[in-house]
Amino acid sequence: MGIGITEVYRGMALNVEGDIYTVVEFSHVKPCKGSSFVRLKLRSVKTGNALERTYRSAETLDDVPLEERKMQYLYNTGDAYHFMCQTTYEEHALQAALLTDIIPFLMDNMEVTGLVYQDKVLKVSLPNFIVAEIIETSPGVKGDSAKSDNKPAKIQTGATISVPLFVDVGDSVKIDTRDGQYVERVKK
């Protein structure tokens, strides 16, 4: 659906050159001479790449109605990861190439958010924080809590994160999925 460039707002999805982008930032510029224009900063839904474009006020763009759906991770078979929509109970299989940034923190039966366009899942995002159990790390020594050093630890999903020296095997930790950083130790 075509919309005027002045109707664009932050967070809106647009079809630009055959790809779907979300508007990160926009500014309406009225120069002293000449016609006004709009400068857009866009981010690709699939790849996350940034793009800047400038449009005259008379131009139109294609609006893309994206829908957020709550989904549940079920299982993976080889290169395909299967998710179920929690409202329609449809199963969607996504290729690992689309999920490279979330696979290290993906747990069985985890609830995720899917961006859907025309019943096709374009992107899946994890909750900002997860709680995972440490399954492998070097043992902690008495007095380690006084130091601010870190050590590598493997969590139940198979990902390796950096944790403080006092964290042991069997401890549950809160992890920020956006950057893979340890947040805090969580009591069971």
Instruction: Tell me the per-residue pLDDT of 150-161, one tens digit each, with 9 for 90 and over.
Output: 899 999 999 999
With residues binned 3-state (H G I as helix, E B as strand, rest as coil), the percentages for the chain, rounded to 5, are: 5, 55, 40
Residues 139 and 180 in one domain: yes
Question: For position 140, which CATH number holds?
Answer: 2.40.50.140
As for how many domains the chain has, the answer is 3
Residues 37 and 81 in one domain: no
Residues 120 and 160 in one domain: no
CA trace torsion 68, 73, 77, 80 (10° rounding): 20
Mapping DSSP to helix (H, G, I), strand (E, B) and coil, where does residue 10 land? Answer: coil
Residue-wise pLDDT tens digits, 81-98: 999 999 889 999 998 888
Q: How far apart are CA 73 and CA 33, in angstroms?
A: 55
Q: What would you report as the CA-atom Rg of the chain, rounded to the nearest whole angstrom? A: 22
State pTM to two decimals: 0.73
What pLDDT does 69 receive?
92
What pLDDT does 13 receive?
87
- What type of residue is 89? Y
Residues 133 and 177 in one domain: yes
Residues 113 and 147 in one domain: no
Residue-averaged pLDDT of the chain:
87
DSSP state of 148: -
Residues 57 and 24 in one domain: yes
Question: For position 31, which CATH number holds?
Answer: 2.30.30.30
Domain that holds residue 144: 129-186
Residues 71 and 50 in one domain: no
Residues 6 and 33 in one domain: yes
Task: Measure the CA angle with vertex 125, ends 164 and 151; round to 5°.
Answer: 15
Mapping DSSP to helix (H, G, I), strand (E, B) and coil, where does residue 96 land? Answer: helix
